[in-house]
Amino acid sequence: MSAADSCSCPGCSGNLVFDISAQALTCAHCGGKYAVPEYDRLMSQRAGSAAAPGEDASVPESRDPGNPEVRANEQTSPEEAAPENSVPAVYACSSCGGEITPGILGATDTCPFCGNAIVLADKIRRQREPDMIIPFALDKTVLMDKYRELLGKARFVPDSYMAEATPERIQARYVPFWLYDVSADGSLSFEAKLVEHTEEYGRSRTVTHKFRGKASGHRSFRNIPQDATSEVDDEISQSLEPYDTGKAQPFSYSWLSGLDARIYNMDNRASFEPVKARVRASMESYLVDADRYTKHKVLESSYEITPKKISYALFPIWTMELKWKGGTCLFAMNGQTGACSENIPTSGFKLWTCSLTTWFFCSMAVSYPFIAAYEAELVDSEIAACIVYGIPFMLSWCFQQFVCVPYLFKTNIRSAISGALLLILGVLAFLITLDAYEFWETLISTGIILGVFWCGLGFSAMKDALWDERRKTALMLKKEADYYAWDYDCRADREVEQLS
């Protein structure tokens, strides 16, 4: 049975836990507060040498993660695999001697007998100590504020979710990550299209240019993160990127006291596969110079993606599970930057009601001015048509996006009342138009306008707009690694031929 370690207060020997809001180790008995570097220094001086918890002192020797020589010496070999877990299942609390049975991947725990926060340092050492750690900078208060702010901005959230979703299992967890420095070489052949819209003599013209080309080049990437535990989905860890490794601290077990920390169970070879996929996507976009074209297609490609250095780090992630209707929704926050992601549900009733009724009302409301402009022959050029027909359309779109969506359809009751009112107003607008113009003229015109508005304000467009808004904070995988590209070590040789 191994001994479980804890941070002891230098003043009263009480248990110290890391207080995120105070950014210091705090003693509940005497109220003492110690910054981690300060505490490590005190323990090192007391022990006469730098040591880790479980030995003569509670902290290891500090290391500078920003020192290239240190990182080069401590880097993980690209072929290194995760060692088998042979850690004893039972620990003894160093304070009261009580038996503790942590989870397989848990690196911290709380003694159920005396309540001491403990760090299972030997569990980490059996694998390897992290090269760096990004401490928690944001506490639970910020997490809840961010959640309420995001929920307030979200569109078409079900009323029952707003009222019944119950927060459970709020966790501040240090998640293990592999950080990859990658060298990528590649070559490819491609076809591309560039669609240009031009205006000549008052007439618009669309021209499509076709290209064929080949390219080869090199690009380097630094510190691409990939979580090293199966307990955290990639959708969570990647949606919270980027993590600012420039503000990482030398690893010390003191940072972990009182918080949840995990060891890795995914070796860096298996974790490298999703990194390769991201690098490949970024290389394709870079070699093709995709921003120049409207659309491109890769015909053949070949890549050589090599990890040059692999570091090991612990990153801070807040997670909160919300129970609703027998299911679980998740909210996550980067404990360093405050970046958030979520999978808040959408109310189909609100979405469909808003889409259909605003589409119908806006279509009927502009029928009269559209027909009046045509009868008065105000449209004598394409420019005039854009102005005369475009202004009512833009006003309708603004009414939908800035009035209906955020206010009129906020709740189920508002949705029902607003939907019925818009339908009635739409019918009245149609009757007014019908009274002013001939039956078939009105019917054909409103039919055309309904079709046009359905493309712009219909369900599909509304859903796309909702997705564009949600995607900024959605739980989703990253498809590229452009953020981590090192611009000082890249080159591309391209040969492009214009076909038409």
**Widest CA span in the chain:** 99
* φ and ψ at residue 190, rounded to 5 degrees: -150, 165
Measure CA of the first residue to CA of the last residue in the chain; give whole Å. 76
Report the alpha-carbon distance of residue 202 to residue 82 in Å, rounded: 68
Give me 142's structure tokens.
């910020």
- Out of 166-175, 263-272, 380-389, pick the least confident: 380-389
Q: Output the pLDDT for position 229.
A: 93
- Out of 32-41, 94-103, 188-197, 438-447, pick the least confident: 94-103
- List pLDDT tens digits, range 416-462: 999 999 999 999 999 998 888 888 888 888 888 888 888 888 887 78
Provide the CB-side half-sphere exposure for 357 (13 A, CA): 22
Residues 226-245: what's their mean pLDDT?
Answer: 94
User: What does the H/E/C string look like for 14-43?
Assistant: CEEEEECCCCEEEECCCCCEECHHHHHHHH
Give the residue among 301, 326, 304, 330 at the shortest CA–CA distance from 317.
330
Mean pLDDT of the chain: 85
Report the alpha-carbon distance of residue 175 to residue 333 in Å, rounded: 13
Give the residue among 263, 261, 254 at the shortest CA–CA distance from 17.
254
Q: Output the pLDDT for position 301.
A: 94
Q: Output the pLDDT for position 61.
A: 40
Q: Output the pLDDT for position 213.
A: 94
Residues sharing a CB contact under 8 Å with residue 282, sequence separation 6 or more, in sequence order: 184, 219, 221, 480, 481, 482, 485
Q: Output the pLDDT for position 74.
A: 42
Residues 367-394: what's their mean pLDDT?
Answer: 72
Q: Output the pLDDT for position 383.
A: 64
Q: Output the pLDDT for position 157.
A: 92
Exposed/middle/buried for residue 249 (C-beta within 10 Å: 0-12, 13-18, 19+): middle
CA 181 to chain centre: 22
Can you state the angle between helices 412-436 and 348-375, rounded to 10 degrees?
A: 20
Report the alpha-carbon distance of residue 478 to residue 240 in Å, rounded: 10
Residues sharing a CB contact under 8 Å with residue 177, sequence separation 6 or more, in sequence order: 225, 226, 227, 228, 237, 243, 312, 313, 314, 315
Give me 264's structure tokens.
């890795």
Asked whether residue 201 carries a pLDDT value surpassing 70, the answer given is: no
Instruction: Compute how many other C-beta atoms are within 10 angstroms of the C-beta atom of residue 261.
Output: 26
With residue 304 as reference, give the H or E element that holds it: strand 295-324
Report the alpha-carbon distance of residue 276 to residue 354 in Å, rounded: 43
CA 365 to chain centre: 40
| Cβ proximity of 49 and 1 under 8 Å | no
Can you state the angle between helices 439-457 and 412-436, rounded to 10 degrees?
A: 150
| Cβ proximity of 214 and 284 under 8 Å | no
| pTM over cut 0.95 | no
Amino acid in the structure at residue 233: D
Q: What is the dihedral sign for C-alpha 254, 258, 260, 265?
A: positive
260-261 vs 166-200, strand pairing mode: parallel
CA 446 to chain centre: 43
Residues 151-174: what's their mean pLDDT?
Answer: 90
Report the alpha-carbon distance of residue 380 to residue 242 in Å, rounded: 53
Asked whether residue 170 carries a pLDDT value surpassing 80, the answer given is: yes
Q: Where are the domains of the chain?
A: 2-128, 140-345+477-498, 348-471
Provide the CB-side half-sphere exposure for 56 (13 A, CA): 11
Report the alpha-carbon distance of residue 60 to residue 345 in Å, rounded: 45
* DSSP string for 123-160: HHHHH---SEE----S-HHHHHHHHHHHHHH-SS--HH
Asked whether residue 165 carries a pLDDT value surpassing 80, the answer given is: yes
Report the alpha-carbon distance of residue 83 to residue 90 in Å, rounded: 19
